[in-house]
Amino acid sequence: MYLIGLTGGIASGKTVVAHRLAERGAVHVDADQLAREVVEPGTPGLAAIAERFGSGVLAADGSLDRAALGAVIFSDAEARLDLNGITHPAIKQLTKKLFVEAEERDPRAVVVYDVPLLVEAMKGDGYHQFDLVVVVNASTETRMSRLIELRGLSREEATHRLSSQATDTDRLAIADVVIDSNGSLDDTLRQADALWERVRSRA
């Protein structure tokens, strides 16, 4: 198995690159999706979140109210760390299981682990060891515009989300490959295709 760690700041175009690599044949493991799974109703993760943050972060049907939780964690660094302490161990365990399954199906599989908080996660002990770390990078101005124009956030909300993540400098420091997504969609996809050809020749 050839394991790629793929990251990028919010609205950087990381998801576009992940989906392109999956189209080309990579196994896509999405940390955001796993983060949803570990807090589904009935899970220990959701129970721990409700205990820490109160019933106000639960919807009427007992599921997680992501907007309510987001309003808390994106403006409170300590709350964000507490949430990570609840969800990250469960995500890590589930991720390892998926990696093992992918390798059992195909020992030569190229697995793309799509994870927004890779910089933060790599600071912990015993984290996944990657064959390649890819950072999708766009300027703060570009990402701000995307959050406001494409996701409908206010400038204040967009600023909170941008400032809650690692800096561009921190992300670029761990990169083996950087994909510049400041340009057009086609340009980003061309870079993703070039990365795929490079990886397939090595894997």
Given a contact cutoff of 8 angstroms between Cβ atoms, the answer to whether 13 and 138 are in contact is yes
CATH 3.40.50.300 applies to domain 2-202: yes
**For the chain, first and last CA: distance in Å?**
7
> Count of CB atoms within 10 A of residue 40's CB?
11
**Residue 163: predicted pLDDT:** 84
The three-state secondary structure class of 84 is helix
Domain boundaries, the chain: 2-202
Instruction: Give pLDDT < 50 ranges for the chain.
Output: none
DSSP secondary structure string for all residues of 18-58 = HHHHHHHTPEEEEHHHHHHHTTSTTSHHHHHHHHHH-GGGB
**Residue 23: predicted pLDDT:** 98
**Residue 188: predicted pLDDT:** 97
**Residue 203: predicted pLDDT:** 67
